Amino acid sequence: MLLQHLDLSYCEVTNEIIKEIAYSCLNLKYLNLDECNNISKEAINQLVSLNPNIHVENFENTIMPASFDVPDRMYVLARRLEMPFDALRNVASLDNYINDELIKRLNIVSDFTLELHASNTHDQP
């Protein structure tokens, strides 16, 4: 059986380890990097490019490059929105993700409001 899930939370993982995982664990589907603070975005990009089906979770407390340009700001915004790392490809994908999430959340609020109204209607004589 091949490795598909790997949780490296709270480990001192480095870029070199991520690169080894990228080349060695081609069937990996899920990687948790919670509190792994020594990994660059470039190393994760390489991992995702070699394994586009992987879901990288909790990649947020990382080393940011010195040149904090537009793609890096998009990346930080995406992490604050709790977007999966692999969902962010460009400005359009960020915009689409935000719109989709807003629609989902508005639908949840709308459904809850309808249920609340229906229950209040049934309670009245």
Check residue 106 and give its pLDDT.
82
Instruction: Report the distance separating Cα 79 and Cα 88, nearest Å.
Output: 10
Against a cut of 0.75, is the pTM above it?
no
Among the ranges given (12-16, 19-23, 68-72), the one the predictor scored with the smallest mean pLDDT:
68-72
Count of residues for the chain?
Answer: 125
Residue ranges covered by each domain of the chain: 1-64
112 sits in the region (left: phi over 0; alpha: psi -120 to 50; else beta) called: alpha
Angle value at C-alpha 78, between 17 and 109, nearest 5 degrees: 130
Instruction: Tokens 């709270």: give the residue.
Output: 10
Task: Give the relative orientation of helices 70-80 and 91-123 as an angle to the nearest 10 degrees.
Answer: 20
Check residue 61 and give its pLDDT.
45
Instruction: Report the distance separating Cα 99 and Cα 97, nearest Å.
Output: 5
- Paired with 57 in beta bridges are 32
Give residue-wise pLDDT tens across range 49-102: 888 888 888 876 444 444 444 455 666 666 666 666 555 555 566 677 777 877
Q: Is the pLDDT of residue 37 over 90?
A: no
Q: Is the pLDDT of residue 122 over 80?
A: no
Give residue-wise pLDDT tens across range 110-121: 777 778 777 777
Could you tell me which of 27, 26, 62, 29 has the C-alpha nearest to residue 44?
62
Instruction: Report the distance separating Cα 72 and Cα 85, nearest Å.
Output: 12
Could you tell me which of 1, 58, 52 has the C-alpha nearest to residue 29?
52
